[in-house]
Chains A and B, each alone.
Chain A
Amino acid sequence: MYKILKNEPIGEKIFLLEVEAPLVVKNCLPGQFVIVMAKEDSERIPLTIYDYDRETSILSMIYQVVGASTLELSKTENELFSVAGPLGKPSEVVTDIEKYRGKRIVMIGGGVGIAPVYPQAKYFTAHGLEVDIIYGAKNKELLIILDKLKSVCQNLTVVTDDGSSGKQGLVTDALKEKHDYDLCIVMGSTVMMKFVCALTKELNIKTIASMNPIMVDGTGMCGACRLLVNNEVKFACVDGPEFDGHLVDFDAAMKRMNLYKDEEGRRYLKALEGDTHSGHCGNCGDE
């Protein structure tokens, strides 16, 4: 069991989760993820690491409630049943930091995808690299950790779909305005990463995309997370989660994300409606 120190909303349906996880914190690096289970019978949920503190052994994650499993997680108090990790490879910029010294780096985060941007930017800044961050969200209510981000970058550009904060527009619009970068690291929804990668390919900026497909074990055992990268099958959990964004087949990845949509939707509705769920509305597919 892992002690929960914090599990509280920091934005609309967005939660900050802090747990004591000494073994994970001891060896983790930016770019890696963990798999958490709220209870013994819960789904295994992959979450990217938002922050870690080697002194206190506190591991922080940020997640959005999008289905029954994250809803259950958001209601979990005191203890988490399991936290496994760190999993996946650290960011190649972390493991090969000297190679990137003096390079102009932009990190792009969309939605809660901004969470894993933070530890990398923090690491780069602490190691003397200069980073700009572009942060895109639907609206003001969904913006999180702005002060934290400002503290680890040169320039923070916020864009929202509705213009309720920062400029109105998409992250790609912001990148078009200023694109004198040597490296782009993008994290967020698959569709957003697809468009960013299409643009950076045009702009000839090397791009790393952090993929977040469906996973079960997170150790290479099941292959649920497989992706096509340069037409080769890769497992996001062990070969990634970060890949050369110009080689990832995003269309295939997006289609694979839909695999359990029906089942998840049904479970989420049931979980939201609890005992009042009748199944008669026809929306959830239950009889």
Chain B
Amino acid sequence: MDEKIEMRNLDPERRSHTFEEVALGYNEEEALKEANRCLQCQNPRCVKGCPVNIEIPRFIKAIREHNLEEAYQIILESSSLPAICGRVCPQEKQCEKMCIKGFKGDAIAIGSLERYVADYAFDHELNAAQQKPKTGKRVAIVGSGPSGLTCAGELLKEGVDVTIYESLHKAGGVLTYGIPEFRLPKKIVESEVNHLKKMGANILLNAVIGKTITLEELENTYDAVYLATGAGLPKFLGIPNENANGVFSANEVLTRINLMGSYEEDAKTPIKKGKKALVVGGGNVAMDAARSLKRIGYDVSIVYRRTMEELPARKMEIEHAKEEGIIFDLLKNPKEVIIDDNYNVKGLKVALMELTDVDESGRRGVKEIPGQTEDIDCDTIVVALGTMPNPIATENSDIVTDEKGLITAPESVTNNPHVYAGGDAVTGAATVILAMEAGKKAASHILSDLGLS
């Protein structure tokens, strides 16, 4: 039988109280076995499925030949953050979906192999990507999330000087404050950031562009500016009592836990440790928040207004959440936060919903069943209904944004020809790999506009 080698996972019972990484990665034997399954297609479909077009068969061939240094360099030609992509990319919707082997059986576990190579590179301190001689051009990148880091990596390879401005005290953006340790260990993010520093990236922390330094000041100092400010503003419910104590944005919960380490024994930043949490929403962020709260001791339910079929989160995250004991409370829509006399949350009133026909988005619609509500007991409510771009960098500038606050940047460039933008700040909240793709695209536009390609 030609079954794919699954990555080993930490035991679900154990992981529901630890922040250790869930997926354990391949050992050498497993990686070789999986690499040997690859058909080495002449016209590889997988490469087309990859937003940054990594030459997948080539790096897999190098693994087979025990040449991991070569495999790493092949990946670096196209991707600046392989250890991260290997972990958080939705490969099942991209490269692995296109894999010819997937049509009759299991696709090659490309993501797992990528992760194997990247982790090997960090463990063995392999060389950074090859760099061209310095060009004398300087680019400022606003935001050190996946889009900013990728753009930085691409520009550094071409000999451009890069300074990354980060508003928080740690680099990584959503990779640091958002995605939890058990899915993406922070030491991996640090390794990727250090890799860029080795290539010469200058990273300025605590620099809130629009406040500490204005966008105009950057424009005047650099040959180009890339805005990769992400989508960091949380949405709230817009229902009564949502300012009560115990209602949090998923961003706040995740920031306290991931960035500030409040899950640790002696943490100096507190997090509320209650008994029962409801996480409202069904995306990856909702799963991250739910699984994080579970690990600090909460009983957790996901409250989602449609059914399991429509949950937008990655399948793997939903499976992991279920294994860890997260309850899915479906077809329920929040109507009102129920509070006690001290303004503390004691429950959530929800409307019961039913599915309707498929709407224009291809999803089944949903509507409230008239007069049917339920009060769910809880002491904590976490809102994970998506995020919007943060306007701080652009609000006092000439950069045009649309009515949703998204920066308008067709072909990576804004209305100001020296200012480029990409990632969630342009598209709205999406995935790490799409942000990376945007960073890569912007880098290629910048290089060509600066006459470097």
Report which A residues bind B (CB closer than 8 A).
Answer: 23-24, 27, 32, 37, 40-44, 68-69, 72, 81-87, 216-217, 219-224, 226-228, 233, 238, 252, 255-256, 258-260, 263-264, 267
Contact A238 B392, beta carbon cutoff 8 Å: yes
Contact B269 A44, beta carbon cutoff 8 Å: yes
Report the minimal beta-carbon distance from B222 to chain A, rounded to whole angstroms: 16
Contact A258 B245, beta carbon cutoff 8 Å: yes
Contact A24 B255, beta carbon cutoff 8 Å: no
The distance in angstroms between the C-alpha atoms of A238 and B233, with both chains bound, is 11
Check if B260 is an interface residue, CB within 8 A of chain A: yes
Q: A27-B212, A222-B249 are in contact. Are A216 and B236 (CB under 8 A)?
A: no
Name B53-86 residues within 8 Å CB distance of A.
none
B169, B234, B255 interface centre (most CB from chain A within 10 Å): B169
Report the minimal beta-carbon distance from A6 to chain B, rounded to whole angstroms: 20
Contact B243 A228, beta carbon cutoff 8 Å: yes
Report the minimal beta-carbon distance from A74 to chain B, rounded to whole angstroms: 14
Contact B268 A85, beta carbon cutoff 8 Å: no
Contact A219 B390, beta carbon cutoff 8 Å: yes
The one of A43, A72, A87, A216 that contacts B252, using a Cβ cutoff of 8 Å: A216
Residues in chain A near residue B255, CB distance under 8 A: 216-217, 221-222
**New contact pairs (9) apart from A87-B211, A263-B272, CB-CB < 8 Å:** A32-B211, A69-B268, A217-B167, A221-B233, A255-B245, A255-B342, A256-B243, A256-B245, A263-B270
Give the residue name and chain of the B residue nearest to A40 (CB): B169
The distance in angstroms between the C-alpha atoms of A43 and B255, with both chains bound, is 12
Residues in chain A near residue B211, CB distance under 8 A: 27, 32, 85-87
Report which B residues bind A (CB closer than 8 A).
Answer: 167-169, 177, 205-208, 211-214, 232-234, 236, 242-243, 245, 248-249, 251-252, 255-256, 260-261, 267-270, 272, 342-343, 390, 392
Q: A223-B234, A233-B236 are in contact. Are A82 and B169 (CB under 8 A)?
A: yes
Residues in chain B near residue A219, CB distance under 8 A: 167, 208, 232, 390, 392
Contact A216 B212, beta carbon cutoff 8 Å: no
Could you pull out 19 A-B pairs where Cβ atoms are within 8 angstroms?
Answer: A23-B213, A24-B212, A27-B211, A27-B213, A27-B214, A32-B211, A37-B169, A81-B169, A83-B206, A84-B206, A85-B211, A217-B177, A219-B392, A221-B251, A226-B236, A227-B243, A252-B343, A256-B245, A263-B272
Interface Cβ pair total, 8 Å cutoff: 110
Provide the main secondary structure of the chain B interface.
Answer: loop
The distance in angstroms between the C-alpha atoms of A87 and B211, with both chains bound, is 6
Provide the main secondary structure of the chain A interface.
Answer: mixed
The distance in angstroms between the C-alpha atoms of A268 and B169, with both chains bound, is 24
The distance in angstroms between the C-alpha atoms of A87 and B252, with both chains bound, is 18
Residues in chain B near residue A228, CB distance under 8 A: 243
Give the residue name and chain of the A residue nearest to B254 (CB): A222
Contact B243 A252, beta carbon cutoff 8 Å: yes
Report the minimal beta-carbon distance from A69 to chain B, rounded to whole angstroms: 6
Contact A84 B208, beta carbon cutoff 8 Å: yes
A27, A41, A82, A84 interface centre (most CB from chain B within 10 Å): A84
Contact B252 A222, beta carbon cutoff 8 Å: yes
The distance in angstroms between the C-alpha atoms of A72 and B343, with both chains bound, is 31
Give the residue name and chain of the B residue nearest to A222 (CB): B252
Give the residue name and chain of the A residue nearest to B234 (CB): A223
The one of A32, A84, A86, A260 that contacts B169, using a Cβ cutoff of 8 Å: A84
The one of A27, A216, A221, A223 that contacts B269, using a Cβ cutoff of 8 Å: A216
A220, A222, A263 interface centre (most CB from chain B within 10 Å): A222
